Chains A and B, each alone.
Chain A
């Protein structure tokens, strides 16, 4: 039981990271209908930037997080204006492949800039052990979980209440009608990319505290978070947090009991089952085309 609770706690914080990444998926997909398969690589950029600010320059956590989010947001604007804007209306496979191309570029650039040697995990968040009835949990697990809940919840409110959130929902629902009402889809898309990559950066900084080491392998988290986004529904903000927590917890608990080999398999098993049972996800809109 103690072991289960320990795994559960670390699974929930992994789920928090997944929730942030799948929020990144959802933000872009909801408005632009692009599945950004470079999400994991963007998260990796965030982790390396975080390492640079925190471990190298010795900045405190919050300013470093904000700096990473801003830099990644600018990168997102760049991705939209320089690359993605010219691809609107192309077949989706071409667009997905462009994101894969971006992922490969990022891997190459990171290898050149940072070298292949792995970095130690970041230590800006407290790793004090909490002992709750025999279950030992490091403090950063709570912080990651709480911040993820806060961020995703904040975005949910933002989407429902703010003017820009309304614009984003309008563009997602009906592009022509929205642009006829004076909403600029281009600006909405740019904003979606910026926020999405900022989320990836934030998730990267968090994951840099959670992962065993910072190297190119952490980009795999982006692919593993795709099941989380599907489980929640690719166009649902609420689904991002639910899907992230479900997949993160099941992965951590499952691989804790079955062995580390199962770590990659479990999210995709969940994905496969979900696609058969309910392809739109738990909260996604059921617009999926079938034969």
Chain B
């Protein structure tokens, strides 16, 4: 690991996977991603009573959240456009998919495509304040979008569904798809195991798309706009175009992940989108680390995984297990821990988990000379 890799041309420099260790890691990640659901689905009991039963659900939720968090990271981390509109966009995705799916009966995969396009359109509208405002004022301008979207959502729920939640049916794989058959023609994505094989490829493709956009000339324009948009416009970058584009891309993916989440969770109601949703994604990208796609992945895994780990540690530690107080206020204590972690990470290690990971790798690769 200690050897430096020298590159001889730009093409080589811009590869996603550049070095041999990275290739090894990529293979390991791919193998784990493919093997994990089989292990979890076949009731494999791991050591230490680790609660794996709930894990397929957590894994699937994490996959949907990764898309949203990565899209948020492109906007905030790569382009420096601080927007709090993503909760509003999740709501928008829920509205669009709730109208097309349960009411009009469209096909699931068609709906996902439509939400991508609709989300890009919504991104254009949201980008309008970004053309005039910067920083703090942009953040405040986008804060309202959650409230506008939530208002529209309540109206939509009451007018279309009365006071019952939107129920999303199980999506089906079309009949012509080879090898998948439930016996009666349609293949329903009805359990966590099947959902995994839908969500994982969608998430992987979305991440690939987003990390590719960062590598193109548009992506370098994003970075220039982040550094200083006036200077960027002097060297031939069009900041208006970059801002509109990044808002379109980011909003499209967030909207799609909203639709995916709604379908995966099968029911959405008025209480499904509290203001806390806005903060959840902020937690993810802060803890994971801004300005890297991998940070969003770390953040989403941590956000959904940490409550289970904390639970597990409490139940398996002899002294903690007996404290009544801790088990009766589980979610509240988790909330406080998350908040404290955000403050701690931002004050002490601004790069979050992905930064810590890089430091850890550097430590081991330079050992025993590492400080």
Contact = CB atoms under 8 A, between A and B. Distances in A.
Interface of A: 35, 83, 86-87, 90, 92-94, 96-98, 100-109, 111-112, 220, 223, 226-227, 230, 261-262, 264-265, 268-269, 271-272, 275-276, 279, 288-291
Contacts, number: 133
A227 B148 CA distance: 14
A261 B82 contact: no
Given A94-B346, A290-B132, A108 B286 contact: no
B319 to A, nearest CB: 19
Interface of B: 76, 82, 129, 131-137, 139-141, 143-144, 147-148, 150-151, 154-155, 229-230, 233, 239-240, 275, 279, 282-283, 286, 329, 332-343, 346-347, 350
- Which one of B136, B282, B350 has the greatest number of beta carbons of chain A within 10 Å? B136
A101 B339 contact: yes
Contact of B339 (A108, A268, A269, A271): A108
A226 B140 contact: yes
Contacts of B282: 97, 100
A272 B148 CA distance: 11
A104 B147 contact: no
A100 B342 CA distance: 8
A291 B228 CA distance: 10
Contacts of A83: 343, 347
Contacts of B135: 92-93, 289
Contact of A107 (B134, B233, B339): B339
Given A104-B338, A112-B329, A261-B151, A271 B343 contact: no
22 contacts: A87-B346, A87-B347, A93-B135, A97-B282, A98-B342, A98-B347, A102-B343, A103-B279, A105-B343, A108-B338, A111-B332, A223-B143, A226-B140, A226-B143, A227-B140, A264-B147, A265-B148, A265-B151, A272-B141, A279-B132, A291-B131, A291-B239
Contacts of B141: 271-272, 275
- Which one of B150, B335, B338 has the greatest number of beta carbons of chain A within 10 Å? B335
Contacts of A268: 143-144, 147-148
Given A230-B140, A269-B144, A101 B340 contact: yes
Nearest to B239: A291
A265 B229 CA distance: 32
A258 B216 CA distance: 49
Contact of B335 (A90, A107, A223, A265): A107
A107 B139 CA distance: 22
9 A-B pairs with the lowest CB-CB distances in the bound complex, closest first: A108-B336, A104-B339, A101-B342, A268-B144, A105-B339, A108-B335, A111-B332, A101-B343, A264-B147
Nearest to B141: A275
Nearest to B137: A279
Contacts of B335: 104, 107-108, 111
- Which one of A108, A111, A272 has the greatest number of beta carbons of chain B within 10 Å? A108
B342 A86 contact: no
A275 to B, nearest CB: 5
Contacts of B147: 264-265, 268
Nearest to B139: A96
A261 B154 contact: yes
B275 A97 contact: no
Contacts of B240: 291
A279 to B, nearest CB: 6
Contact of B137 (A104, A106, A112, A275): A275
Nearest to B150: A264
Nearest to A265: B151
A276 B144 CA distance: 13
Nearest to A234: B136
B144 A272 contact: yes
Contacts of A93: 76, 82, 135, 139
B284 to A, nearest CB: 11
Contact of A104 (B133, B342, B347): B342
A250 B133 CA distance: 25
A107 B333 CA distance: 10
A86 B338 CA distance: 20
A254 to B, nearest CB: 13
B92 to A, nearest CB: 16
B150 A98 contact: no
Contacts of A90: 346, 350
B336 A109 contact: yes
A56 B341 CA distance: 33
B338 A97 contact: no
A104 B283 contact: yes
- Which one of B132, B150, B155, B339 has the greatest number of beta carbons of chain A within 10 Å? B339
B346 A97 contact: yes
A86 B339 contact: no
A147 B260 CA distance: 50
B286 to A, nearest CB: 5
A111 B330 CA distance: 11
Contacts of B347: 83, 86-87, 98
Contacts of A106: 339
Contacts of B131: 291
A40 B171 CA distance: 41
A226 to B, nearest CB: 6
Nearest to A269: B144
